[in-house]
Structure 1
Amino acid sequence: MAAKPKLCYFRGRGRMESIRWLLAAAGVEVGPVWEKGEGLSGQERSDGRLLFGQVPLVEIDGMALTQTRAILSYLAAKYNLHGKDLKETVRIDMHADGTLDLMMKVAAAAFKPPGEKEKSLASAVEKAKTRYFPVFEKILKDQGEDFLVGNKFSWADIQLLEAILMIEELDASVLSDFPLLQAFKTRISNIPTIKKFLQPGSQRKPPPDSHYVKVARTVLQF
Protein backbone atom coordinates (compact mmCIF):
# COMPACT_ATOMS: atom_id res chain seq x y z
CA MET A 1 0.00 0.00 0.00
CA ALA A 2 1.35 3.42 -0.96
CA ALA A 3 2.23 5.77 1.86
CA LYS A 4 -0.22 8.56 2.56
CA PRO A 5 0.80 12.05 1.43
CA LYS A 6 2.17 14.29 4.18
CA LEU A 7 1.37 18.00 4.21
CA CYS A 8 3.39 20.78 5.79
CA TYR A 9 1.81 24.21 6.14
CA PHE A 10 0.41 26.50 8.82
CA ARG A 11 -3.09 26.13 10.23
CA GLY A 12 -5.01 28.07 7.62
CA ARG A 13 -6.07 28.16 4.00
CA GLY A 14 -3.35 29.96 2.13
CA ARG A 15 -1.75 28.19 -0.81
CA MET A 16 -2.29 24.74 0.71
CA GLU A 17 -6.08 24.90 0.58
CA SER A 18 -6.43 24.03 -3.12
CA ILE A 19 -4.09 21.09 -2.50
CA ARG A 20 -6.32 19.90 0.35
CA TRP A 21 -9.34 20.23 -1.96
CA LEU A 22 -7.74 18.23 -4.75
CA LEU A 23 -6.61 15.40 -2.48
CA ALA A 24 -10.03 15.26 -0.84
CA ALA A 25 -11.82 15.19 -4.19
CA ALA A 26 -9.57 12.36 -5.31
CA GLY A 27 -10.52 10.41 -2.17
CA VAL A 28 -6.94 10.40 -0.91
CA GLU A 29 -6.42 10.00 2.81
CA VAL A 30 -3.71 12.31 4.07
CA GLY A 31 -0.98 11.14 6.45
CA PRO A 32 0.61 13.27 9.19
CA VAL A 33 -0.11 16.97 8.79
CA TRP A 34 2.61 19.29 10.04
CA GLU A 35 0.94 22.54 10.99
CA LYS A 36 3.33 25.34 11.77
CA GLY A 37 2.57 27.62 14.66
CA GLU A 38 5.50 30.02 14.93
CA GLY A 39 7.70 29.30 11.95
CA LEU A 40 9.76 26.76 10.08
CA SER A 41 12.50 24.98 11.96
CA GLY A 42 16.14 25.38 11.00
CA GLN A 43 16.18 21.76 9.87
CA GLU A 44 13.22 22.25 7.53
CA ARG A 45 14.90 25.28 6.00
CA SER A 46 18.29 23.61 5.60
CA ASP A 47 17.67 19.93 4.80
CA GLY A 48 16.74 20.55 1.17
CA ARG A 49 13.07 19.65 1.40
CA LEU A 50 11.98 23.25 0.94
CA LEU A 51 13.44 24.10 -2.44
CA PHE A 52 13.12 27.86 -1.97
CA GLY A 53 12.65 27.87 1.80
CA GLN A 54 8.88 28.15 1.46
CA VAL A 55 5.77 26.10 2.19
CA PRO A 56 3.51 24.44 1.11
CA LEU A 57 5.40 21.16 1.19
CA VAL A 58 3.84 17.83 0.18
CA GLU A 59 5.76 14.60 0.67
CA ILE A 60 4.43 11.97 -1.73
CA ASP A 61 5.81 9.10 -3.81
CA GLY A 62 9.25 9.49 -2.25
CA MET A 63 9.45 13.16 -3.25
CA ALA A 64 9.34 16.43 -1.38
CA LEU A 65 7.22 18.69 -3.58
CA THR A 66 7.11 22.47 -3.23
CA GLN A 67 5.58 25.30 -5.29
CA THR A 68 1.78 25.20 -5.32
CA ARG A 69 1.23 25.07 -9.07
CA ALA A 70 3.70 22.19 -9.51
CA ILE A 71 2.09 20.23 -6.66
CA LEU A 72 -1.42 20.70 -8.06
CA SER A 73 -0.33 19.70 -11.57
CA TYR A 74 1.36 16.54 -10.29
CA LEU A 75 -1.62 15.53 -8.15
CA ALA A 76 -4.08 16.21 -10.98
CA ALA A 77 -2.11 13.95 -13.30
CA LYS A 78 -1.58 11.26 -10.64
CA TYR A 79 -5.25 11.04 -9.70
CA ASN A 80 -6.68 11.29 -13.24
CA LEU A 81 -8.04 14.80 -12.78
CA HIS A 82 -6.41 16.16 -15.92
CA GLY A 83 -7.46 15.93 -19.56
CA LYS A 84 -7.29 12.93 -21.88
CA ASP A 85 -4.85 14.78 -24.15
CA LEU A 86 -2.73 17.94 -24.26
CA LYS A 87 -5.55 20.11 -25.61
CA GLU A 88 -7.90 19.18 -22.77
CA THR A 89 -5.08 19.48 -20.23
CA VAL A 90 -4.16 23.02 -21.25
CA ARG A 91 -7.83 24.08 -21.11
CA ILE A 92 -8.11 22.63 -17.62
CA ASP A 93 -4.94 24.46 -16.62
CA MET A 94 -6.26 27.76 -18.01
CA HIS A 95 -9.53 27.43 -16.11
CA ALA A 96 -7.77 26.41 -12.90
CA ASP A 97 -5.29 29.30 -13.16
CA GLY A 98 -8.19 31.72 -13.66
CA THR A 99 -9.92 30.60 -10.49
CA LEU A 100 -6.60 30.69 -8.64
CA ASP A 101 -6.14 34.32 -9.70
CA LEU A 102 -9.56 35.13 -8.24
CA MET A 103 -8.94 33.27 -4.99
CA MET A 104 -5.56 34.97 -4.51
CA LYS A 105 -7.31 38.35 -4.66
CA VAL A 106 -9.40 37.26 -1.67
CA ALA A 107 -6.46 35.69 0.16
CA ALA A 108 -4.28 38.78 -0.27
CA ALA A 109 -6.99 41.06 1.13
CA ALA A 110 -6.66 39.46 4.57
CA PHE A 111 -3.18 40.98 4.93
CA LYS A 112 -4.17 44.55 4.11
CA PRO A 113 -4.81 47.26 6.73
CA PRO A 114 -8.40 47.93 7.87
CA GLY A 115 -10.24 49.91 5.26
CA GLU A 116 -8.04 48.66 2.45
CA LYS A 117 -9.03 45.11 3.32
CA GLU A 118 -12.74 45.83 2.89
CA LYS A 119 -12.11 47.61 -0.41
CA SER A 120 -10.03 44.69 -1.68
CA LEU A 121 -12.68 42.15 -0.75
CA ALA A 122 -15.39 44.24 -2.40
CA SER A 123 -13.19 44.48 -5.50
CA ALA A 124 -12.75 40.69 -5.55
CA VAL A 125 -16.51 40.17 -5.40
CA GLU A 126 -17.04 42.69 -8.19
CA LYS A 127 -14.40 41.03 -10.38
CA ALA A 128 -16.01 37.64 -9.71
CA LYS A 129 -19.34 39.01 -10.96
CA THR A 130 -18.01 40.90 -13.97
CA ARG A 131 -14.86 39.11 -15.10
CA TYR A 132 -14.62 35.53 -13.84
CA PHE A 133 -18.09 34.07 -13.33
CA PRO A 134 -19.46 35.31 -16.69
CA VAL A 135 -16.62 33.41 -18.38
CA PHE A 136 -17.41 30.18 -16.58
CA GLU A 137 -21.14 30.61 -17.16
CA LYS A 138 -20.40 30.84 -20.91
CA ILE A 139 -18.05 27.85 -20.80
CA LEU A 140 -20.77 25.71 -19.21
CA LYS A 141 -23.31 26.97 -21.75
CA ASP A 142 -21.02 26.27 -24.71
CA GLN A 143 -20.05 22.88 -23.32
CA GLY A 144 -23.60 21.79 -22.59
CA GLU A 145 -22.16 19.22 -20.21
CA ASP A 146 -21.84 18.69 -16.47
CA PHE A 147 -18.16 19.65 -16.30
CA LEU A 148 -15.91 22.38 -17.66
CA VAL A 149 -13.77 20.27 -20.00
CA GLY A 150 -14.48 17.08 -21.92
CA ASN A 151 -17.50 16.11 -19.80
CA LYS A 152 -15.07 14.64 -17.26
CA PHE A 153 -14.56 15.70 -13.65
CA SER A 154 -11.24 17.52 -13.42
CA TRP A 155 -9.02 19.73 -11.35
CA ALA A 156 -10.68 22.77 -12.97
CA ASP A 157 -14.09 21.77 -11.58
CA ILE A 158 -12.66 21.37 -8.10
CA GLN A 159 -11.03 24.79 -8.10
CA LEU A 160 -14.08 26.51 -9.55
CA LEU A 161 -16.24 25.17 -6.72
CA GLU A 162 -13.60 26.26 -4.19
CA ALA A 163 -13.63 29.76 -5.71
CA ILE A 164 -17.43 29.95 -5.76
CA LEU A 165 -17.71 29.02 -2.10
CA MET A 166 -14.96 31.47 -1.17
CA ILE A 167 -16.74 34.36 -2.90
CA GLU A 168 -20.11 33.30 -1.44
CA GLU A 169 -18.59 33.77 2.03
CA LEU A 170 -18.34 37.45 1.08
CA ASP A 171 -21.60 37.76 -0.88
CA ALA A 172 -24.17 34.99 -0.55
CA SER A 173 -26.07 36.21 -3.61
CA VAL A 174 -23.08 36.30 -5.96
CA LEU A 175 -24.48 33.55 -8.22
CA SER A 176 -27.94 35.10 -8.57
CA ASP A 177 -27.30 36.00 -12.23
CA PHE A 178 -25.54 32.74 -13.10
CA PRO A 179 -28.02 29.84 -13.22
CA LEU A 180 -25.58 27.39 -14.81
CA LEU A 181 -23.03 28.08 -12.10
CA GLN A 182 -25.71 27.58 -9.47
CA ALA A 183 -26.47 24.15 -10.92
CA PHE A 184 -22.74 23.43 -11.24
CA LYS A 185 -22.20 24.27 -7.57
CA THR A 186 -24.97 21.89 -6.49
CA ARG A 187 -23.77 19.12 -8.80
CA ILE A 188 -20.10 19.25 -7.82
CA SER A 189 -20.87 19.70 -4.11
CA ASN A 190 -22.78 16.42 -4.17
CA ILE A 191 -19.91 14.33 -5.51
CA PRO A 192 -19.38 11.98 -2.53
CA THR A 193 -15.73 12.82 -1.85
CA ILE A 194 -16.38 16.55 -2.05
CA LYS A 195 -19.57 16.31 0.00
CA LYS A 196 -17.50 14.63 2.71
CA PHE A 197 -14.85 17.38 2.52
CA LEU A 198 -17.54 20.03 3.01
CA GLN A 199 -18.67 18.47 6.29
CA PRO A 200 -17.37 19.67 9.68
CA GLY A 201 -14.23 17.93 10.85
CA SER A 202 -12.55 17.67 7.47
CA GLN A 203 -9.17 19.16 6.52
CA ARG A 204 -10.97 22.18 5.01
CA LYS A 205 -9.92 25.38 6.75
CA PRO A 206 -12.10 28.37 7.76
CA PRO A 207 -11.78 31.89 6.36
CA PRO A 208 -8.73 33.80 7.63
CA ASP A 209 -8.96 35.73 10.89
CA SER A 210 -6.48 37.98 12.70
CA HIS A 211 -4.71 35.02 14.33
CA TYR A 212 -4.27 33.35 10.94
CA VAL A 213 -2.75 36.55 9.53
CA LYS A 214 -0.33 36.83 12.45
CA VAL A 215 0.82 33.21 12.16
CA ALA A 216 1.10 33.41 8.37
CA ARG A 217 3.30 36.49 8.60
CA THR A 218 5.56 34.68 11.05
CA VAL A 219 5.73 31.43 9.10
CA LEU A 220 6.20 33.06 5.72
CA GLN A 221 8.47 35.77 7.15
CA PHE A 222 6.89 38.88 5.66
Structure 2
Amino acid sequence: MNAFLASSGAVLSVMLFVAILAGVIVFLIMRRRKSAREEEELNRLKNVRSLILSKVQHVKHLSTVRMDFISKFPFKDARKVFGHEIPGTSINFNLRYSGTLVCGCDLDKVQIARSFHNGNHLQITFPNSQILDIYPHNDSFEFVDKDGGIFAKGIEVEKLNREVALDVERVKQEYIAKGVLLQSNENIQKLFRSYIEPLGVVPEISFEELGTTNRPRLTGG
Protein backbone atom coordinates (compact mmCIF):
# COMPACT_ATOMS: atom_id res chain seq x y z
CA MET A 1 0.00 0.00 0.00
CA ASN A 2 2.77 2.38 0.95
CA ALA A 3 4.61 1.44 -2.23
CA PHE A 4 1.49 2.22 -4.30
CA LEU A 5 1.08 5.62 -2.64
CA ALA A 6 4.73 6.40 -3.20
CA SER A 7 4.39 5.38 -6.86
CA SER A 8 1.25 7.51 -7.27
CA GLY A 9 2.96 10.49 -5.65
CA ALA A 10 5.89 10.16 -8.01
CA VAL A 11 3.55 10.04 -11.02
CA LEU A 12 1.71 13.15 -9.82
CA SER A 13 4.99 14.95 -9.29
CA VAL A 14 6.11 14.07 -12.81
CA MET A 15 2.76 15.16 -14.27
CA LEU A 16 2.91 18.44 -12.35
CA PHE A 17 6.46 19.05 -13.53
CA VAL A 18 5.47 18.29 -17.12
CA ALA A 19 2.48 20.65 -16.86
CA ILE A 20 4.63 23.45 -15.44
CA LEU A 21 7.29 22.85 -18.08
CA ALA A 22 4.67 22.90 -20.82
CA GLY A 23 3.27 26.14 -19.45
CA VAL A 24 6.73 27.71 -19.39
CA ILE A 25 7.39 26.59 -22.96
CA VAL A 26 4.05 28.01 -24.17
CA PHE A 27 4.76 31.27 -22.33
CA LEU A 28 8.21 31.56 -23.89
CA ILE A 29 6.82 30.81 -27.35
CA MET A 30 4.04 33.39 -26.98
CA ARG A 31 6.48 35.92 -25.59
CA ARG A 32 8.84 35.31 -28.46
CA ARG A 33 6.02 35.70 -30.94
CA LYS A 34 4.89 38.88 -29.21
CA SER A 35 8.44 40.23 -29.20
CA ALA A 36 8.76 39.37 -32.88
CA ARG A 37 5.48 41.17 -33.64
CA GLU A 38 6.57 44.18 -31.59
CA GLU A 39 9.91 44.25 -33.38
CA GLU A 40 8.16 43.98 -36.73
CA GLU A 41 5.75 46.78 -35.76
CA LEU A 42 8.62 48.96 -34.55
CA ASN A 43 10.54 48.45 -37.79
CA ARG A 44 7.42 49.30 -39.79
CA LEU A 45 6.95 52.52 -37.80
CA LYS A 46 10.60 53.43 -38.37
CA ASN A 47 10.17 52.83 -42.09
CA VAL A 48 7.06 55.01 -42.20
CA ARG A 49 8.81 57.79 -40.28
CA SER A 50 11.79 57.62 -42.61
CA LEU A 51 9.45 57.71 -45.60
CA ILE A 52 7.64 60.79 -44.28
CA LEU A 53 10.86 62.66 -43.52
CA SER A 54 12.34 61.76 -46.90
CA LYS A 55 9.29 63.36 -48.52
CA VAL A 56 9.18 66.54 -46.44
CA GLN A 57 12.91 67.28 -46.35
CA HIS A 58 12.80 68.35 -50.00
CA VAL A 59 9.82 70.67 -49.45
CA LYS A 60 10.50 73.64 -47.19
CA HIS A 61 6.92 74.90 -47.08
CA LEU A 62 3.66 73.02 -47.46
CA SER A 63 0.90 75.17 -48.98
CA THR A 64 -2.61 73.99 -48.10
CA VAL A 65 -4.74 77.10 -48.70
CA ARG A 66 -4.55 79.39 -51.72
CA MET A 67 -7.24 81.97 -52.35
CA ASP A 68 -7.73 85.12 -54.40
CA PHE A 69 -9.19 88.29 -52.92
CA ILE A 70 -10.39 91.73 -54.04
CA SER A 71 -9.84 94.85 -51.97
CA LYS A 72 -10.56 98.56 -52.27
CA PHE A 73 -9.37 101.49 -50.18
CA PRO A 74 -9.60 105.30 -50.42
CA PHE A 75 -6.58 107.40 -51.32
CA LYS A 76 -6.23 111.14 -50.90
CA ASP A 77 -3.32 113.51 -51.41
CA ALA A 78 -2.78 117.24 -51.85
CA ARG A 79 -0.08 119.87 -51.92
CA LYS A 80 0.54 121.41 -48.53
CA VAL A 81 2.27 124.49 -47.17
CA PHE A 82 3.21 124.54 -43.49
CA GLY A 83 0.94 121.56 -42.98
CA HIS A 84 -2.07 123.20 -44.61
CA GLU A 85 -3.67 121.90 -47.79
CA ILE A 86 -3.55 124.24 -50.78
CA PRO A 87 -7.03 124.61 -52.33
CA GLY A 88 -7.46 123.07 -55.77
CA THR A 89 -4.51 120.70 -55.40
CA SER A 90 -6.20 117.68 -53.80
CA ILE A 91 -6.76 114.38 -55.53
CA ASN A 92 -9.16 111.67 -54.31
CA PHE A 93 -9.98 108.21 -55.56
CA ASN A 94 -10.59 104.62 -54.50
CA LEU A 95 -7.97 102.10 -55.50
CA ARG A 96 -9.30 98.63 -56.28
CA TYR A 97 -7.10 95.60 -56.89
CA SER A 98 -7.01 91.82 -56.64
CA GLY A 99 -4.45 89.64 -54.94
CA THR A 100 -3.57 86.14 -53.75
CA LEU A 101 -3.10 84.75 -50.24
CA VAL A 102 -1.22 81.50 -49.51
CA CYS A 103 -1.28 79.61 -46.18
CA GLY A 104 0.65 76.58 -44.99
CA CYS A 105 3.34 75.43 -42.58
CA ASP A 106 7.12 75.20 -42.33
CA LEU A 107 8.04 71.53 -42.84
CA ASP A 108 11.56 72.16 -41.52
CA LYS A 109 10.05 72.08 -38.04
CA VAL A 110 8.01 68.86 -38.27
CA GLN A 111 8.59 66.44 -35.37
CA ILE A 112 7.83 62.70 -35.62
CA ALA A 113 7.91 60.29 -32.67
CA ARG A 114 6.63 56.79 -31.88
CA SER A 115 3.71 56.67 -29.48
CA PHE A 116 4.59 54.72 -26.33
CA HIS A 117 0.91 54.09 -25.53
CA ASN A 118 -0.20 52.74 -28.91
CA GLY A 119 2.12 50.47 -30.84
CA ASN A 120 0.96 51.40 -34.35
CA HIS A 121 0.61 55.14 -33.71
CA LEU A 122 2.96 57.93 -34.77
CA GLN A 123 2.94 61.31 -33.05
CA ILE A 124 3.40 64.03 -35.68
CA THR A 125 3.74 67.62 -34.54
CA PHE A 126 3.54 70.47 -37.04
CA PRO A 127 4.25 74.15 -36.44
CA ASN A 128 1.06 76.17 -36.50
CA SER A 129 0.05 77.32 -39.98
CA GLN A 130 1.01 80.79 -41.10
CA ILE A 131 0.55 83.13 -44.05
CA LEU A 132 3.31 82.04 -46.40
CA ASP A 133 2.67 84.75 -48.96
CA ILE A 134 0.21 87.50 -49.82
CA TYR A 135 0.60 89.80 -52.79
CA PRO A 136 -1.41 92.07 -55.10
CA HIS A 137 -1.69 91.34 -58.82
CA ASN A 138 0.30 94.08 -60.52
CA ASP A 139 -2.01 94.29 -63.53
CA SER A 140 -5.20 94.56 -61.46
CA PHE A 141 -4.98 98.09 -60.03
CA GLU A 142 -7.95 100.25 -60.96
CA PHE A 143 -8.73 103.87 -60.03
CA VAL A 144 -12.39 104.26 -59.07
CA ASP A 145 -14.37 107.47 -58.41
CA LYS A 146 -11.37 109.64 -59.18
CA ASP A 147 -11.76 113.33 -58.38
CA GLY A 148 -9.24 116.15 -58.26
CA GLY A 149 -8.84 119.90 -58.24
CA ILE A 150 -7.70 121.91 -61.20
CA PHE A 151 -4.21 122.12 -59.77
CA ALA A 152 -4.14 118.57 -58.47
CA LYS A 153 -0.68 117.17 -57.96
CA GLY A 154 0.46 113.98 -59.62
CA ILE A 155 0.21 110.71 -57.73
CA GLU A 156 3.36 109.88 -55.77
CA VAL A 157 4.14 106.25 -56.55
CA GLU A 158 6.12 105.79 -53.34
CA LYS A 159 3.25 107.02 -51.20
CA LEU A 160 0.74 104.94 -53.12
CA ASN A 161 2.90 101.82 -52.64
CA ARG A 162 2.96 102.45 -48.90
CA GLU A 163 -0.84 102.65 -48.83
CA VAL A 164 -1.12 99.43 -50.83
CA ALA A 165 1.24 97.67 -48.39
CA LEU A 166 -0.88 98.85 -45.46
CA ASP A 167 -4.05 97.57 -47.11
CA VAL A 168 -2.45 94.20 -47.91
CA GLU A 169 -1.56 93.86 -44.21
CA ARG A 170 -5.14 94.75 -43.31
CA VAL A 171 -6.44 92.02 -45.64
CA LYS A 172 -3.98 89.54 -44.11
CA GLN A 173 -5.15 90.22 -40.55
CA GLU A 174 -8.77 90.07 -41.69
CA TYR A 175 -8.33 86.57 -43.10
CA ILE A 176 -6.48 85.42 -39.96
CA ALA A 177 -9.40 86.69 -37.85
CA LYS A 178 -11.80 84.72 -40.08
CA GLY A 179 -9.92 81.48 -39.32
CA VAL A 180 -7.88 80.84 -42.44
CA LEU A 181 -5.00 79.41 -40.37
CA LEU A 182 -7.34 76.92 -38.69
CA GLN A 183 -8.58 75.91 -42.13
CA SER A 184 -4.97 75.36 -43.19
CA ASN A 185 -4.33 73.17 -40.12
CA GLU A 186 -7.39 71.06 -40.96
CA ASN A 187 -6.18 70.62 -44.54
CA ILE A 188 -2.76 69.49 -43.27
CA GLN A 189 -4.40 66.88 -41.03
CA LYS A 190 -6.56 65.54 -43.87
CA LEU A 191 -3.61 65.43 -46.26
CA PHE A 192 -1.28 63.50 -43.94
CA ARG A 193 -3.99 61.14 -42.70
CA SER A 194 -4.85 60.18 -46.27
CA TYR A 195 -1.16 59.54 -46.92
CA ILE A 196 -0.24 57.66 -43.70
CA GLU A 197 -3.33 55.62 -42.76
CA PRO A 198 -3.17 53.38 -45.88
CA LEU A 199 0.28 52.31 -44.60
CA GLY A 200 -1.38 50.78 -41.53
CA VAL A 201 -0.22 53.52 -39.17
CA VAL A 202 -2.48 55.79 -37.12
CA PRO A 203 -1.18 59.40 -37.06
CA GLU A 204 -1.65 61.45 -33.89
CA ILE A 205 -1.40 64.96 -35.37
CA SER A 206 -0.96 68.10 -33.30
CA PHE A 207 0.22 71.67 -33.86
CA GLU A 208 2.64 73.88 -31.96
CA GLU A 209 2.96 77.63 -31.94
CA LEU A 210 5.70 79.09 -34.10
CA GLY A 211 9.04 79.45 -32.38
CA THR A 212 8.68 76.42 -30.08
CA THR A 213 9.89 73.67 -32.39
CA ASN A 214 13.30 72.69 -33.69
CA ARG A 215 14.63 70.94 -36.74
CA PRO A 216 12.98 67.62 -37.70
CA ARG A 217 13.97 64.84 -35.33
CA LEU A 218 13.15 61.20 -34.56
CA THR A 219 12.49 60.05 -31.02
CA GLY A 220 11.17 56.98 -29.28
CA GLY A 221 13.57 54.42 -30.73
Q: Tell me which interval the TM-score lies in, with the shorter structure as reference length.
A: under 0.3
Q: TM-score, normalised by structure 2?
A: 0.21
- Structure whose residues are more often strand by fraction: 2
- Structure whose residues are more often helix by fraction: 1
With a CA cutoff of 8 Å and minimum separation of 6, indicate the structure with the bigger relative contact order: 1
Q: TM-score, normalised by structure 1?
A: 0.21
